[in-house]
Structure 1
Amino acid sequence: MTTTKYKRVLLKLSGEAFRGEADYGIDAATLARIAKQIKQTIEMGVGVAIVVGGGNI
């Protein structure tokens, strides 16, 4: 397991982060990319709390 600087992090994502190039809604490819990055962080032993805004819906 990799040694990390933090044991836990809070990730605040704007709802707009999920829309990709679209004007509104959720882009599946963008969501999958974000989920993969979060999964990798968790696999490093970091606890991740996530807050998501919904302004784009």
Structure 2
Amino acid sequence: MKLIAVARRWREENGYVGRGGVIVLFEGDVQSWFNTLRNPEHWQPGCVAIDEDGRS
């Protein structure tokens, strides 16, 4: 649940609420926002992508 809260807080603080896409986190830190998750095989194992509805 903590990662979802981190992603939501980041969206609010950076103006990404209502823009959809996913927030990618690694070891609890936000790495970036993407409108769609492309090439997940290129991400470091352990990364988590969380969409605006809190799904990972």
Task: Give the TM-score, by structure 1 length.
Answer: 0.31
Answer 1 or 2: higher relative contact order, Cα 8 Å, separation at least 6. Answer: 1
**Bigger Rg, which one:** 1
More strand, by proportion: 2
Task: Give the TM-score, by structure 2 length.
Answer: 0.31
More helix, by proportion: 1
